[in-house]
Amino acid sequence: MSLSQFLPAFAQLKTPFYFYDIDLLQQTMAACKKEMNRYGYHAHYALKANNNEKIVKLLRDAGFGADCVSGNEVLYAVKNGFAPKQIVYSGVGKTDEEINHAIAHNIFCINCESVQELEVVNALSAKAGKVVDISIRLNPDIDPHTHEYITTGLEENKFGISEWEFNHMVERLQASKNLRLIALHAHVGSQITDMPVFEKLCCRINELQQVLADKGVTVEHLNMGGGLGVNYEDPEGHPIADFAGYFAIFHKHLSLRPGQTLHFEPGRPLVAQCASLITRVLYVKNGQKKNFVVVDGGMTDLLRPALYQAQHAIRQLSSDKMPQAYDVVGPICESADCFGKNIMLPQASRGDFIALRTAGAYGQTMCMRYNLRDLPPAVYSDELPLSV
């Protein structure tokens, strides 16, 4: 579906807004499910990637569970109808209140990230008079070859429990009468496009699972987190992530014990490509060194370029005039408020539509009100006429 088809409808709307291509979301969910079902895997959608209620409900209806990283996400998942036994909860800094929410709702498992957290979850479970299902988030010390801010599985990262802590962890587990260890978990990073990283992860988990088995620790489930990358350069050419290649790697390289089930927590690959941030050109500044296109959406609406130096494909929807190089910038009082430098775009005019593509993951969910700006609304393809 081409964005230009919706231009007459866009012309009636205030910009900036997030535009969701619901057909593409449905196709993406179906592709992921098809490949998972081939091997009997389970997936818990990572709500942090996008918690827009309509999008979340579509994922729930497609049969995905929920992966949460805060107590409020756990409550939101429950409120939006996810079965508690399909909800997992990670996070290196869970508060007592957040842990109590997870305990109260009998979720599938709490992914514990430190030995001290095990002790706290045990104490709170005892207080609630329950035996609570948990998993151990392992820190496998794997370099995912992605941006340093979304690298989570290296020893130097704050996440998970490292191999050198295993003896202590096993002692604590044995002393924790209100915990039941059901899973081992790992999530080594996000936007991973170097597929051999996942092969390395499998080999490392095989080793760690054996180290733990030698200490008498065995589990019913493995959870390999999320991380599959999407194509930010050519979203039109690669609208759906390589789910087939991804799951095949785990099938081939991860040694599941008899009866063990395998779980994942995909976020970005499910929702990234289905949305674009639609903006209008406010001003064109032709300078001596640079030409600027100033659009009405900024880093408060799409933070990834400022936060991670991420590059989203930028498309001019209104004209096909001669291309020219522009820096595409937003209106926020920060020089980091830049979506791209030296981007070739058809010669721009005030009022032209500019789309920031692949904005469905970590886009709307990271919006903020810095400069007291309005939050961008969401617009959905299945609620808009193709022509007006």
- Site residues (vs ligand PLP, CB under 6 A): 46, 48-49, 67, 69, 90, 187, 190, 225-227, 265-269, 361
Closest separation between CB of residue 269 and ligand PLP, Å?
6
Query: Taking the CA of residue 169 as centre, how many other CA atoms within 13 Å lie in the half-sphere pointing to its CB?
Result: 24
Closest separation between CB of residue 229 and ligand PLP, Å?
8
Closest separation between CB of residue 225 and ligand PLP, Å?
5
Given the complex with ligand PLP, which of 10 and 159 has the nearer CB atom?
Answer: 159
Closest separation between CB of residue 36 and ligand PLP, Å?
14
Given the complex with ligand PLP, which of 71 and 226 has the nearer CB atom?
Answer: 226
CA-based angle 193:194:195, to the nearest 5? 95
Closest separation between CB of residue 200 and ligand PLP, Å?
17
For strand 65-68 and strand 275-286, is the pairing parallel, antiparallel, or unpaired? unpaired
Amino acid 212 reads L
Dist CA 44 CA 231 (whole Å): 22
> Under 8 Å CB-to-CB from 212, ≥6 apart: which residues?
166, 170, 184, 218
Closest separation between CB of residue 136 and ligand PLP, Å?
13
Given the complex with ligand PLP, which of 297 and 363 has the nearer CB atom?
Answer: 363
Q: How far is CA 144 from CA 81, 188, 221, 283, in A?
A: 33, 6, 23, 40
Reading phi first (left if > 0) and then psi (alpha if -120 to 50, else beta), residue 363 is in alpha
> Under 8 Å CB-to-CB from 213, ≥6 apart: which residues?
none
Given the complex with ligand PLP, which of 190 and 273 has the nearer CB atom?
Answer: 190
Given the complex with ligand PLP, which of 181 and 188 has the nearer CB atom?
Answer: 188
Given the complex with ligand PLP, which of 18 and 89 has the nearer CB atom?
Answer: 89
**Helix or strand or coil: residue 244?**
helix
Given the complex with ligand PLP, which of 357 and 373 has the nearer CB atom?
Answer: 357
Closest separation between CB of residue 144 and ligand PLP, Å?
10
Closest separation between CB of residue 13 and ligand PLP, Å?
28
Cβ proximity of 15 and 297 under 8 Å: yes
Q: How is residue 183 written in tokens?
A: 């899973």
Dist CA 7 CA 39 (whole Å): 42
**Helix or strand or coil: residue 289?**
coil
Given the complex with ligand PLP, which of 3 and 270 has the nearer CB atom?
Answer: 270
Dist CA 93 CA 116 (whole Å): 11
Given the complex with ligand PLP, which of 161 and 384 has the nearer CB atom?
Answer: 161
Closest separation between CB of residue 280 and ligand PLP, Å?
29
Given the complex with ligand PLP, which of 267 and 305 has the nearer CB atom?
Answer: 267
Closest separation between CB of residue 149 and ligand PLP, Å?
10
β-pair partners for 242? none
Reading phi first (left if > 0) and then psi (alpha if -120 to 50, else beta), residue 197 is in alpha
Q: How far is CA 74 from CA 57, 224, 259, 338, in A?
A: 14, 19, 28, 34
Chain position whose Cβ is nearest to ligand PLP: 226
